[in-house]
Amino acid sequence: MHEVSHQRVKTNGIWLHIAEQGTGPLVLLLHGFPEIWYSWRHQVSFLANHGYHVVAPDLRGYGDSDSPVSPTSYTVMHLVGDIIGLIDHFGEQQAFIVGHDWGAVIGWHLALFRPERVKGLINLSVPYYSRNPNAKFAESLIRTYGDGFYISQFQEPGRAERAFARYDYLTVIKKFLLITQTDNLIAPPGMEIIDYLRTLSRLPPWITEEELQVYADKFQESGFTGALNYYRAMDLNWELTAPWQGSKITVPVKFMVGKNDLGFEVSGVRQYVEGNIFRSLVPNLEIVILDGHHFLQQEKHQEVSEEILLFLRKFPAE
């Protein structure tokens, strides 16, 4: 079996770095914040060994991919366009899409805008929500949760970057990737979210210091602005997605979430995921709730890998 190979691919006017392994049906693994392709390291090899062509990009703004300066270059239109370009690069009509966090947001919108290019969708942590025609997304979150909410603090260019800069890159990565709190990510009044997040004295068994350092080294090269710009384009996304108001996700979907994910129990997310509205918006839906936190594909990598494979095997080989 070939090892993971790396290359940069021109797509949608920018260069994306990708990690790639295996041959067979194309599976794209899309990471979230604050991560890189490496968050899928377990799944890349697992799925390649089971007969799939697995591609995990650093999304725009991350890692070794290009990082446009303006927040307006990080809309779901740009992000979906990047992935369509990747599928085209490999000469495929369709791909399986696996997304986590912001990668899941991209997966939902890819299935919304171009369902004919998505053979099946597996999303982790972030469910699909119908667009509220009366309230912009970030604006409504700020009204609901206030300035202490992490998305509120990520809106103003430079604010989070300045706060993060008080810590070394490894500490910032640890503060996010090792989150164990289950309520919403809201700092007390007058406090920045990065100061509020704890630094664990002992690492959990699912990740090592060396693995965390891989992230830290990449963010030291790229900075955090590209990653934060996704949040700064949220209200622009609301404006641009008006034509899809009320649209459903028609492709086959498996949705996985950790029962200890941020806000899952306290924000009505569990009720939504297990209720009728989610299923009405995503009619061809399977739901799996795992005993984990937010970064499921790492914390519960074996279970997540096997759940992905179970879903992929439902589709007959061409």
Active site residues: 101, 231, 294
Q: What is the C-alpha separation between 94 and 116, in angstroms, rounded?
A: 7
In eight-state DSSP terms, residue 91 is: T
Q: What is the C-alpha separation between 269 and 275, in angstroms, rounded?
A: 10
